């Protein structure tokens, strides 16, 4: 150890000791990953968020040379899974795939268990899907105008299922009500899979959910009818389904995006390595096709792009929540 003539630790000694303290952390980062990586999904299997995770997971495993395990932790509109990862060890072994609820819930819930700016590191955006407005085929409703008219004629009859409180399909439904005056009652479920089962079983008349997964399968199989989609343009996978804008409903564009996050204190080199792995995986044509088959368009954004997206969308949805007067304890 470097000391001065009085036996005290000199400036160079302090610097050397400080540098030595950082060696174990640097070595840990340099050797990462050394074991399995867990990706937590904040919804149950079957929806576009789960589909996104299960497509990207094997690609990340291939890039990094370690297995990736998908773990579903649904509940409380996504807050259970998101809050779990916010409190997880920031070592790069516990990650989160979340939908747009990530940018919504902090404004929607008075006691949200996380802060989208403070509690997470941003790894990358995976993909995005428009929301679909669907009805049961036995209702004899073939257009959105017919749905609005029927709901107004029977105000207590029409319920719409969504993947959960605060999901973009839920908010898309509230915007639709604001723009059209249709008295649709919201029934939230724990993910898109249960919401699809609700409309198929006749529990609800309407389903609003992001395109992809079981929703798109049910549309393609003729089990439910898609009346409109909420994207800015028609989806290339459902080209016969018009947008809300085409139907004369303005300022109602919404999409569900899925992204990958890590706990806030995750070392920057690990975040960078994960971000690079995600972009490499999303650049592969076979991965893009898998996403498209699931009704999702890949949206390759690295850490900086995702950070900008979160900063942009949090205030956007906060305003929608204010206009719709939605509040959850």
Q: What is the CATH number of the domain that holds 63?
A: 3.40.190.150
Name the least confident of 13-22, 49-58, 140-149, 177-186.
Answer: 13-22
Answer yes or no: do 48 and 117 share one domain: yes
213-219 long-range CB contacts below 8 Å, 24 or more apart? 213/46, 213/47, 213/48, 213/50, 213/51, 213/294, 213/295, 214/46, 214/47, 215/47, 215/48, 215/132, 215/134, 215/295, 216/132, 216/294, 216/295, 218/134, 219/132, 219/134
Domains identified in the chain, total number:
2
Answer yes or no: do 219 and 262 share one domain: no
Which is more confident, 17 or 261?
261
User: What pLDDT score was predicted for residue 14?
Assistant: 46
**Considering the chain, what percentage of its residues have pLDDT values greater than 70?**
91
Which residues span the domain enclosing 50? Answer: 34-128+257-324
Q: Does residue 17 register a pLDDT over 70?
A: no
User: What pLDDT score was predicted for residue 58?
Assistant: 98
**Considering the chain, what percentage of its residues have pLDDT values greater than 90?**
67
Answer yes or no: do 118 and 163 share one domain: no
Most confident of 18-32, 101-115, 129-143, 232-246: 129-143
CATH of the domain at 204: 3.40.190.10
Q: Does residue 15 register a pLDDT over 50?
A: no
Query: Cα(256)–Cα(210) distance, rounded to whole angstroms?
Result: 6
Answer yes or no: do 115 and 264 share one domain: yes
Answer yes or no: do 208 and 142 share one domain: yes
The band of 29, judged by pLDDT with boundaries at 50, 70 and 90, is: low
The band of 47, judged by pLDDT with boundaries at 50, 70 and 90, is: confident
Answer yes or no: do 122 and 135 share one domain: no
Q: Does residue 88 register a pLDDT over 70?
A: yes
Query: If DSSP codes are grouped into helix, strand and coil, which group holds residue 149?
Result: helix
Answer yes or no: do 139 and 219 share one domain: yes
- Between CA 33 and CA 41, with CA 38 as vertex, the angle to 5 degrees is 145
Query: If DSSP codes are grouped into helix, strand and coil, which group holds residue 328?
Result: strand
Answer yes or no: do 160 and 81 share one domain: no
Query: Cα(80)–Cα(17) distance, rounded to whole angstroms?
Result: 41
Q: Does residue 30 register a pLDDT over 50?
A: yes
The band of 76, judged by pLDDT with boundaries at 50, 70 and 90, is: confident
- Name the burial class of residue 75, with classes exposed (0-12), middle (13-18) and buried (19+) by CB atoms within 10 angstroms of its CB: middle
Name the least confident of 29-33, 160-164, 170-174.
Answer: 29-33
Buried b (16+ CB within 10 A) or exposed e, 78-113: bbbbbbbbbebebbbbbbbbbbbbbbbbbbbbeebb
Answer yes or no: do 152 and 301 share one domain: no
Determine, yes or no, domain membership for 2: no
- Name the burial class of residue 162, with classes exposed (0-12), middle (13-18) and buried (19+) by CB atoms within 10 angstroms of its CB: buried
Answer yes or no: do 172 and 263 share one domain: no
User: What pLDDT score was predicted for residue 16?
Assistant: 46
Determine, yes or no, domain membership for 199: yes
Determine, yes or no, domain membership for 1: no
User: 187, 211, 229: which is the final residue of a domain?
Assistant: 229
Determine, yes or no, domain membership for 8: no
**Mean per-residue pLDDT over the chain, rounded:** 89
């Amino acid at each position: 150890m470097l000391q001065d003539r009085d036996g005290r630790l000199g400036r160079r000694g302090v610097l050397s000791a400080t540098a030595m303290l950082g060696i174990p952390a640097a070595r840990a980062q340099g050797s990462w990953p050394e074991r399995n990586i867990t990706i937590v999904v904040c919804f149950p299997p079957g929806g576009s968020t789960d589909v996104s995770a299960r497509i990207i997971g094997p690609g990340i495993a291939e890039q990094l040379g370690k297995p990736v395990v998908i773990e579903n932790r649904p509940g409380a509109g996504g807050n259970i899974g998101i809050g779990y990862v916010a409190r997880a060890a920031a070592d790069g072994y516990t990650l989160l795939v979340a939908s747009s609820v990530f940018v919504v819930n902090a404004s929607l819930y008075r006691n949200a268990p996380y802060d989208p700016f403070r509690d997470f590191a941003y790894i990358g955006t995976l993909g995005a899907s428009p929301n679909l407005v669907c009805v049961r085929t036995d209702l004899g409703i073939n257009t959105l105008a017919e749905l609005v008219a029927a709901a107004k004629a029977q105000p207590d009859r029409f319920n719409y299922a969504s993947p959960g409180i605060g999901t973009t399909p839920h908010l898309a439904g509230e915007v639709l009500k604001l723009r059209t005056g249709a008295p649709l009652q919201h029934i939230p479920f724990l993910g898109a899979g249960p919401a699809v089962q609700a409309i198929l079983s006749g529990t609800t008349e309407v389903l609003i959910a992001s395109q992809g997964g079981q929703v798109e399968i049910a549309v393609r199989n003729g089990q439910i009818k898609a009346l409109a989609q909420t994207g800015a343009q028609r989806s290339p996978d459902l080209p016969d389904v018009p947008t809300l804008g085409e139907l004369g409903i303005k300022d109602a564009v919404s999409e569900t995006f899925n992204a990958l996050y890590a706990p806030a204190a995750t070392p920057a080199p690990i975040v960078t390595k994960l971000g690079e792995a995600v972009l490499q995986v999303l650049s592969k044509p076979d991965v893009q096709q898998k996403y498209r088959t699931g009704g999702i368009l890949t949206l390759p954004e690295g850490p900086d792009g995702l950070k900008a997206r979160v900063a942009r969308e949090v205030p956007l949805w906060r305003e929608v929540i204010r206009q719709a007067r939605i509040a959850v304890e």
